[in-house]
Structure 1
Amino acid sequence: MRFGKRTDAAGDSSLDGSTVGRIALGVVLVYLLICLVVGWYWSREPDLSPLVVRADDRPMVSGEYTARTLHSLMGELLSKPGGYLSNDVAPPGLWLDNMPNWEFGALVQVRDMSRALRRDMARSQSQSKEDANLAKAEPLFSTNNNRWMFPSSESEYQHGMQQLDQYIARLQRGDAYFYARADNLASWVGDVSTRLGSLSQRLSASVGRAPLIEGGKLGTTTPWLEIDDIFYEARGTSWALVHLLRAIEHDFHDVLVKKNALVSLQQIIRDLEATQETLWSPMVLNGGGFGMLANHSLVMANYLSRANAAMIDLRRLLEQG
């Protein structure tokens, strides 16, 4: 009898282990499903709705629209669904790569504009003293984008936004300056043109044919696993640029009209807005030649190349008029 009881107990133990295994498998599957849904939600890109909305009828002072747009861009990076994902160390953020690349593209534009504000737009001439708040904000925005502790990227970016808040408040009081001059704008436009040219080249390298480089040698093509990374970096760059160019149109309106450059700027905005159209494919396709599959990278490169060509013309107009 004792031997029989032991056999039954062993059988019960085996049954219990099998049940526990099924439960564990079910929990894992539910967890993965939740991560999949949450990851899809977190991967949704912000739209092109205006980021700066006036709370009253008070007219904005010169430069306020640009500074507020810069502040709002960084705020959107930190507060969008899922928050800032580039430094996540746990699922599902750890498994996502499209949104971190999108964030990096937008972040580069935040850094470039904050540098332009500090270096040119907030100074009357090259020998002028730089603005104290902008001098602190720019290096904070330049913090490594994937730091997750001591201090994290988010905390440094938030401190940069606080410095930008103080600059905006001083602009409103007349204690800070913004010089909407053609040379200041031309300098930033040149930086943007360089960024767009580089992105366009990297996107074009995904076509599968190596480009020629100096000396007639063949360059390298974009690795297959990096095609979507560059594509989404370009999407993030274009998204941020559309908002910044709208702000430039507002704050530099008189200069643009005087230089006959307003239409050129508006055309650049239209070209970059086209990069934000919905991607209906579940993945970034890399069709070659005139085949049946699209090459999304080349379509993106086309829009950026057109915008870059217009940027070069815009800079020429600003410098020569």
Structure 2
Amino acid sequence: MKILDTFFDAFDSLRGLFRRKSDPQGEQTGLLARLLPVTLLVLIAGILILGFLWSSEPDSFSPVLEAKRLAGERNDPITTGYITTAAIIKIAETLLDKPGGYLSNDKLPPGVLMDNIPNWEFGVLTQIRDITLAMRNDLTRSQSQSIEDKDIIIADSKFRIDSESWMLPPAESEYRQGIDALYAYLTRLVDEDKQDGQFYARADNLNEWLGLVSKRLGSLSQRLSASVGQQRLNTDLAGDAEAHQSTATGNVVEVKTSWFHIDDIFYETRGSAWALSHLLKAAETDYLHVLEKKNALVSLQQIVRELEATQATLWSPIILNGSGFGMFANHSLVMANYISRANAAVIDLRNLLKNG
């Protein structure tokens, strides 16, 4: 939408230039006036072409094959946690190195005029932040009283820099440092001499991360479903007769996503699901013995399948927002269906890990 508005404004300016004739004295407009419309047209065409090329979402990859490639380059053995860490690195590098690079903090066109891919980037970044937080708090620690991993501390803090920070510091450089910290952790992870880099593949650790995943998916599902507007019963304090909240709210809550933000939430969800599907595939290998013992492997695979369904090609040039049973499609509700099913499967998987 921003690109089209810019194009129409430039077109109006060009039309005025073409209509401009010689002045009353008979003087010609000059070479500069004749070249300016052509230059602007070429510039606008270049911006539109770059915007189109940069709007493509990255392809998926195999976390196992990526880990093998990385291990081959570094001459590393693949140990527990290697595939998950390699997947995080690949996802973060894709975020920065995809066509057009990192766009969320761009201040010049076409990046500043685009919003779909920046929202996709934020969805990916959210999953990176969640998995690095889980690694800092749980996956790299043997128990609650153990010491946090020094490199994961750096990675977690670097990935939490404002996604739109342009300078002092620029987001890209901070995220690069986060990736470097993950590489440093990976080096220590395979070092059998020092043994100070660990990844603990336990059911309780996996369950903690899946708790974060479930909360993210639940939030995305609610935001997507609100595209058509709903009146919801207030269940904020349900289940606890003694519960209180800061300010009183009504028994019925009106929830509706602004028309201007529908596509933002849609692409944020696409990015989040893209990153999460790869992380879960990596966890499938690193936690294989745990999942098999709990008879939960198929449950995790079903989550991945639901998330992969969200990555189907979108043939419509815009995100349609038809009513639930209207004549036109509602892409947000379709996406919400897949996310809700994935979240339900995550909840079931958590129960299996805890009680299975």
What are the ranges of 5 or more consecutive residues in structure 1 without an aligned counterpart? 1-6
How does the TM-score come out when normalised to structure 2? 0.84
Matches within 5 A, 1:47-126: 47-50=59-62, 52-55=66-69, 56=72, 59-126=77-144
CA distance in 1, matches of 2:76, 2:121: 32
Cα RMSD (Å): 1.8
CA deviation vs aligned residue, 1:99-136 (integer Å, no higher than 9, x gap): 01000000000000001111101111000011111111
Does 1:135 find its partner at 2:156? no
Contact 1:205–1:211 (CA<8 Å) still a contact in 2?
Answer: no
CA distance in 2, matches of 1:210, 1:46: 37
How far does residue 9 in structure 1 lie from its aligned partner after superposition?
A: 11
Percentage identity across paired residues of the two chains: 54
Q: Counterparts of 2:185 and 2:132 in 1: how far apart (Å)? A: 12
Q: 215-224 or 288-297, which moves further after superposition?
A: 215-224
CA drift at 1:26: 2.1
Kept in 1: contact 2:201–2:286 (CA 8 A)? yes
Name the structure 1 match of 2:317. 282
Deviation by residue 1:243-299 (Cα, 9 ceiling, x = unmatched): 100000010000000011100000000000000000000000001132221000000
Q: 2:49 aligns with which of 19, 34, 37?
A: 37
* SS of the residue 2:100 aligns to: coil
CA distance in 1 between partners of 2:23 and 2:211 (Å): 81
Offset from partner CA, 1:34-73 (integer Å, 9 cap, x none):
1111001111001212252523396510001001111111
Describe how 1:139-158 pairs up with structure 2 within 5 A.
139-158=157-176
> CA offset at residue 306 of structure 1?
0.1
1:191 aligned partner, one-letter code: L
Counterpart of 1:306 in structure 2 is: 341
AA aligned opposite 2:217: L
Q: How many residues align?
A: 312
Paired residue secondary structure (1:276): coil
Residue 209 of structure 1 is matched in structure 2 by 230
- Distance in structure 1 (CA, Å) of the matches to 2:214 and 2:129: 15
What residue number does 1:246 align with? Answer: 281
* Other structure's SS at 2:163 match: coil
8 Å contact 2:103–2:111 — kept in the other structure?
Answer: yes
More displaced, 272-281 or 169-178? 169-178
> Aligned with 2:182: secondary structure?
helix
Name the SS of the counterpart of 2:310 in structure 1.
Answer: helix
Larger deviation: 240-249 or 285-294? Answer: 285-294
Structure number having the greater helix percentage: 1
Q: Deviations 1:131-159 (Å, cap 9, x if unpaired)?
A: 11111110111111011112100000101
Cα distance, 1:211–1:59 mapped onto 2, change above 3 Å: same
Distance 1:261 1:213 in 2: 34
SS at match of 2:253: coil
Q: Is the 8 A contact 1:182 1:255 kept in 2?
A: yes
Q: 1:190 corresponds to which residue?
A: 211
Contact kept? 1:208, 1:288, Cα under 8 Å? no
SS state of the match for residue 173, structure 1? Answer: coil
What is the letter of the counterpart of residue 129 of structure 1? I
Decide which moves more: 205-214 or 138-147: 205-214
> For residue 220 of structure 1, what is the aligned residue in structure 2?
255
Maintained 8 Å contact 1:211/1:221:
no
Structure 2 stretches lacking a partner, 5+ long = 1-21, 236-249
SS for the counterpart of 2:353 is helix
CA-to-aligned-CA distance 1:177-217 (integer Å, 9 cap, x gap): 01000000000001000000000000000013344434432
1:75 partner letter: E
Q: 2-side partners of 1:67 and 1:116: how far apart?
A: 12
Moved more, 114-123 or 42-51: 42-51
Q: Distance in 2 between matches of 1:32 and 1:67?
A: 42
In structure 2, distance between residues paired with 1:25 and 1:202? 44
